[in-house]
Structure 1
Amino acid sequence: MASKKYTMMLGLLGLISTAAFAQDTTSSSTMNNSMSKTGTSISAGTNADDSWIYDGTNRVRASQDAQQTSFLNHTSVYPAKPKSMWELGIGVGPSFLLGPIDPRFGYGASISLRKSLSHIFSIRAQYGASMNYGQDFQLRSIGEAALGTDPNGVATKYATANGGKYLANYKTFLQTASADLIADLNAISSYRGNEKTSWYVLAGYTFGWADVAENLLNSSGAAYDWSSLPTGSRKDIRNYADGQLHANQSNKILDTKGNNDFGRQYETAVDGNSRSNAIGSAPPVTRHGLDAGMGIAFKVSPRFNIGIEQKFTFFFGNSDMLVGLNNRVNQQTTLSSTQVRFNFNLGNSSKRVEPLNWVNPNNYLYNKVAEAPYLPDADGDGVTDQFDLEPNTPKGCAVDTHGRSLDTDGDGVPDCRDKQVLTPQSWFPVDADGVGTEPEPACCAALRDSLAHMQVAPSCSIANLPSVRFSKSSVKLDDAAQAALTSAAAQLNANPNCKVKLVGYGASNKRAQQLSWDRVNAVKNFLIEKQGISEGRIIFTYGYDGDANTVDLQSTTEEGPSTVPAPHPNLQKS
């Protein structure tokens, strides 16, 4: 029986060498060739082994070809999920059963198959086998031993020996089948490519079945004499017990018939039928359990990684039979398994990417952004064509975030060709070089006005007209403003020779200039639409230095424009 168990465990280890020579040798050039078929160019410095670029549909399922094709044609914003490789894992390392009896060094091995569900979560099915040992440090009542039907009459033989006491020990060959959910803790990052080190945690379910045996009789089939067992420290008791675990020697008590398992003969098997839910008429003992653990793996190549994992299996119910005690002891037994793991990625790399838990999904986004064909800039102004609102900006002209030539003073001539970059609003309109017309000096204007008065001209008898105030940045006429304008309209209607000049203020910046225009326009519209004043009797001016919240009404007989285009339509409120 023991040789078969060892053969099984050694067979698991033998798979390591087989898998090491069975890997797909597809080179990264194959990936690059498959990408070149799509006509896609990758920016310099991109490493296909570290970037997860799978242009085309060769790495997605047939059912997702349409989605991937739409993505490559820019009619869908999301790529299809790629097919990923499976991971074959083989582990070896120490094993311990943590329970009411102190464990001794054991060993185990496992083989597993893991599949990624996403870049964080994956599932793993695993078979494990381990040989576990334990040696107590105190005498127990023979009634605590899991003797079952007791075919060797062990209980009877200990009835008088040692006062019915024995030194508990066990040898347990434990096999497990488990299904675990694994969560990778650092697969996704915005600051690196694919991870080289994978930290992960796991949780899941295990079903275990075990062959359990105890060393309770000496080579003559009689109970051991533990009457001289010391009562000191655990170390003293263990040292004494270890000294007794070699048979047929003058200073040793326990037998070594068969010379197996640390020189001990485990002749008393735990009978599975002593449990209500045992299977079979003899061992094994079966138990269910929950898994928890964590591990770290290091990528050696895109097809191989090596790691170390600590896993605990907490068996349900009265699991003390796994260490040779009957159910009356009623204590928990936990399997501790520490293993070095050798993991191999299975699959054709021309059709599948690495397991997704090794792939940073941000690589796809960043590499797509870096691909030149998707970010053309025909006029070279630094704003890609898909966002450029002025695709033919003259060379050398500074632009805003939308690719439009900067025009600081809003005169319609870009700064790169404007010979008067900050033309005052009162100097508009400007010529082709962006140079405005400077207004007459005040002295000249006064002289001209006096000369004009010397000529026969229509007279206006309106002495003064009201001003209209606006609140904050509003362009709405409140009740007071409307009443003032109604009064002004009555005066204008009574004096048909008079015109009204609307004077708006605000020249400090584009927003102030546009707000000045909006407020003059609101007054103009009210006089025309609500009071019936002819548009030809209104002179439209704005953008002067003064109180930006005020529009003055001035009676006049001079000529002037009744309509002026908005200086900055993108900031217009009315």
Structure 2
Amino acid sequence: MASTKYSLMLGLFAGLASTSAFAQQTSTSDDWLYDSSKVTSHGLAQQNAWKANETPYPAKPKNKLELGIGVGPSLMFTPINPKLGYGSSFSLRKALGHVFSVRAQYNYGIYYGQDYRTRSVSYAPSNVQAVLAAHGAPSSYLANYKATIQQVSVDGLASLNTISNYRGNPKLDIYALAGYSFVWGSSRINALDANGAAYSAFNTGDNVRVDKSQAKDILKAGQKNGLFDMKGGNDQKYETVLTNRNGATGNVIGGGTQMRKHGVDFGAGIAFKVSDNFNIGVEQKFTYLFDGGDFSGIVTGPSQKNDILSNTQVRFNFNLGSSSKRVAPLWWINPNNYIYNELNVPKHMKITLPDADGDGVTDSFDLEPNTPAGAPVDSHGRALDTDGDGVPDYKDKQKITPQSWFPVDADGVGTEPEPACCKELRDKLANYKPASECAITSLPSVQFKKGSVALSKAAQASLTTVAAQLNGNPGCKVKVIGYGASNKKAQQLSWDRVNSVIKYLVEKQGIAESRLLFYYGQDGDANTVDLQGTTEEGPNTVPAPHPNLQKSK
């Protein structure tokens, strides 16, 4: 019977383990980290500090309680050969972290012993000896028993495969357990046959050692003569109640027919996640009972072996609690999800990108990484050259040089051509006053996501600084330059993006539309809109080139 039980147990373990390949393809979501409703009140301060990047550790979330129901075969290992019984259990399990959890469990079990030889009556408890004396007074008896045992235990469980560097949340919970049990119950001996008489003697000798083949022969002979609890003359009623230690309490807690003992638990199990709130598993649990083997109904003196309870159960486990307020039990959540998700798509990570020349363009995107401090640059980090004379603005003493005055000297100053022999022209040149320069020399570019005309939060923040500079320089205007000239769609998208920037500055920042010059469809980076301070005149509004392709998002 014992071998049949363990064959069944191994088969169930193997069946669940065969699903492990599928079990690795699991969720890696960590969205619950950002839901403060799933954090306890005393953990809320830590959660808020984590969201504000004041601490790298989020608070532990509230997680569900697991209710378990188990059924399966049971055995009790004693000096008497065990025979397969049955049992059931009820448990509540709570996670202490992603690996460790604690479980309280109640178990009810029926355990049987099937002896392969008779024992000397002197080894029987006193009340059994009295029963045998009243029914034939044999010198030996069969110590076949039935024990009804209840068990309350508190066990610590360690989940062995929750944390992984190579997959998301587990589908299998493989765990080991250890803990304490308090056990109480009673045993009965089948001392009398169906006719109410003690079984006739069939003694191999109490101290005779036999091997397995001899034991089988003894069992066959006993069955033939109706001595053993199989299908012979045995009535299997287990009519004689045992008392512990010949009726004395000794160092056993309690006395009489109800025996009470302490024990330690150890075992292992595996559970397969069927859904977010339900899993099925198989568990093997052993309980080592202290203080002798009273449940087996045989007393062998100081060398008495302690009883060991074995329970193999199929377990049906349910997660209790609202999914809107609690996450799954933590042993079903891989804590590495947060780390790997942050590495893959940062949502919370502090990122500081190098900018050696301090021009506002990250080194990895800076095409001119050594521009002097304060030099105005474009979106690619290159020094601006407004008039295109080959002298950057930060060196150009004549920032807007007419092309007819080219070439220019090292300071960017051109050579004024000889005017036509016309007094009117000379008078105009004599009275020419260059437009006042604009003090705005450096404005940020606005970046758009591919195909989008919506302003990101970063873009809106940049435009707020542009508005501040315009308010501080009332004589300045700004060229708003969009790129994309390859086709109608690109031209219209360029127009839409320039329109989004101007509309935001006018409606949200209160800048006069007359100070914003509308340029679109230029050659350049299609996802960029550049802003340049100027005193020039230009168009403030331009009709959409292809209204049928116009976008709003």
TM-score between the two structures when normalised by the length of structure 1 = 0.54
State the match for 2:201 in structure 1.
Answer: 226
Letter in 2 for 1:153: V
The 8 Å contact of residues 315 and 334 in structure 1, kept in 2 or not, is answered as yes
Q: In the alignment, residue 353 of structure 2 is paired with which amino acid?
A: F
1:194-244 deviation line (CA, Å, top 9, x unaligned)? 111111111101111121011112234322113487997111222333455
* Paired position in structure 1 for 2:308: 334
Instruction: Report the residue type matching 1:399 in the other structure.
Output: D
Please state if 1:120 is matched with 2:99: yes
Distance 1:218 1:399, change over 3 A: same
Aligned to 2:111: 132
Aligned to 1:235: 216
- Answer whether contact 1:201 1:293 (CA < 8 A) is retained: yes
Q: What is the CA deviation profile of residues 100-152 of structure 1, one whole-angstrom value per residue up to 9, with x for unaligned ones?
A: 1000111111111100001111100111011111111122111112x344585
Q: Is the 8 A contact 1:142 1:158 kept in 2?
A: no
Q: Equivalent residue for 1:93?
A: 72
Counterpart code for 2:220 = N
2:295 pairs with 298, 322, 325, which one? 322
Q: Structure 2 vs 1, CA of residues 203 and 184 (structure 1 numbering), >3 Å: closer, same or farther?
A: same
Could you tell me which of 69, 73, 76 is aligned with 2:52?
73
Report the Cα distance in structure 2 between the residues aligned to 1:432 and 1:411, rounded to whole angstroms: 13
Alpha carbons of structure 1 residues 368 and 246: separation in structure 2 relative to 1, 3 Å: same
Q: Distance in 2 between matches of 1:406 and 1:127?
A: 74
**Aligned CA-pair RMSD:** 3.9
Measured in 2, the distance between the counterparts of 1:50 and 1:288 equals 44
Cα distance between partner residues in 2 of 1:393 and 1:213? 88
- 1:348 corresponds, among 322, 339, 354, to 322
Distance 2:261 2:270 in 1: 28
The equivalent position to 1:296 in structure 2, one of 248, 270, 278, is 270
Question: Which of 55, 62, 65 is the equivalent residue of 1:83?
Answer: 62
Structure number with bigger Rg: 1
Aligned length: 352
Aligned to 1:306: 280
In structure 2, C-alpha distance between the alignment counterparts of 1:372 and 1:311, rounded to whole Å: 44
Question: Kindly tell me: are residues 406 and 168 of structure 1, through their superposed partners in 2, closer, same or farther at Cα, counting changes over 3 Å?
Answer: farther
| Kept in 2: contact 1:158–1:165 (CA 8 A) | no
- Match of 1:236, SS state, is helix
Distance 2:84 2:368 in 1: 78
Name 1:166's counterpart in structure 2: 141
Cα offset, 1:303, TM superposition: 0.5
Q: Partner of 1:300: helix, strand, or coil? A: strand
**Corresponding residue for residue 352 of structure 2:** 386
Give secondary structure in 2 for the equivalent of 1:113: strand
Partner residue, 2:397 = none
Q: Deviations over 1:273-327 (max 9, x none)?
A: 3332556663221211111111111111110111111111111121x11111126
Match for residue 490 of structure 2? none
Matched, 1:270 2:242: yes
Do the aligned partners of 2:32 and 2:327 also contact (CA within 8 Å) in 1?
no
| Closer, same or farther: CA 224–150 of 1 in aligned 2, 3 Å | closer
1: CA distance, partners of 2:83 / 2:340: 52
CA distance in 1, matches of 2:160, 2:283: 14
Q: Residues 228 and 125 from structure 1, CA distance in 2 versus in 1: closer, same or farther, beyond 3 angstroms?
A: closer
Matched, 1:109 2:75: no
1:265 maps to a residue whose letter is K
**What CA distance in whole angstroms lies between the structure 2 residues aligned with 1:210 and 1:169?**
17
Q: Output the amino acid matched with 1:270.
A: L
Following superposition of structure 1 onto structure 2, how do residues 150-165 of structure 1 map, counting pairs within 5 Å? 150=128, 152-155=130-133, 157=135, 159=137, 161=138, 164-165=139-140
Q: Distance in 2 between matches of 1:298 and 1:330?
A: 40
Aligned to 2:154: 179
Q: Which residue of 2 aligns with 1:448?
A: none
- Stretches of structure 2 lacking an aligned partner (at least 5 in a row): 1-24, 384-389, 394-553
Alignment CA distance shift 1:54-1:47 (3 Å): farther
Instruction: Return the offset for 1:357.
Output: 1.1
| Contact 1:95/1:105 (8 A) holds in 2 | yes
Moved more, 121-130 or 134-143: 134-143
User: What does residue 523 of structure 1 align with?
Assistant: none
* Counterpart-to-counterpart distance in 1, 2:37 and 2:308: 46
| Contact 2:117/2:203 (<8 A) preserved | no
2:27 & 2:140 partners in 1: Cα distance?
Answer: 69
The alignment status of 1:365 with 2:339, answered yes or no, reads yes
Contact 1:51 1:193 in 2 (8 A): no
1:168 aligns to what SS in structure 2? Answer: coil
Return the letter of the residue paired with 2:308.
T
Q: Flag the 1:373–1:330 CA change in 2: closer, same or farther, 3 A.
A: closer
Pair 1:399-2:342 in alignment: no
Give the one of 188, 199, 211 matched to 2:174: 199
Counterpart-to-counterpart distance in 1, 2:249 and 2:136: 23
The offset of 1:51, in angstroms, is 3.6
CA distance in structure 1 between the aligned counterparts of 2:65 and 2:363, rounded to whole angstroms? 51
Residue 284 to residue 108, structure 1, CA distance change in 2 (3 Å): same
1:208 matched to 2:183? The reply is yes
CA shift, 1:338, in A, is: 1.0
Residue from 42, 49, 52 that aligns with 1:63: 42
1:57–1:227 Cα change, 3 Å:
closer
Partner of 2:192: 217
Match of 2:476 in 1: none
C-alpha separation in 2, matches of 1:235 and 1:305: 41
2:141 is matched by which residue type in structure 1? Y
Q: Is the 8 A contact 2:117 2:202 kept in 1?
A: no
Amino acid in structure 1 at the alignment position of 2:178: A
Aligned to 1:233, what secondary structure does the other structure show? helix
Aligned equivalents of 2:202 and 2:128: distance in 1? 23
Q: Which amino acid aligns with 2:215?
A: R
- Structure 1 residue runs of 5 or longer lacking an equivalent are 1-45, 257-263, 376-383, 420-429, 434-574
The Cα of 1:97 is off from its aligned counterpart by 0.5
Identity %: 40
The one-letter code sitting in structure 1 at the alignment partner of 2:63 is S
* 1:489 aligned partner: none
Aligned residue for 1:364, secondary structure, equals: helix
Look up the equivalent residue of 2:111 and give its one-letter code: N
Q: State whether residues 152 and 268 of structure 1, in contact with CA within 8 Å, keep that contact through their aligned partners in structure 2.
A: no
Q: Distance in 2 between matches of 1:47 and 1:213?
A: 51
Q: Distance in 2 between matches of 1:372 and 1:330?
A: 64
Amino acid of the structure 2 residue aligned with 1:335: L
Confirm or deny that 1:286 pairs with 2:260. yes
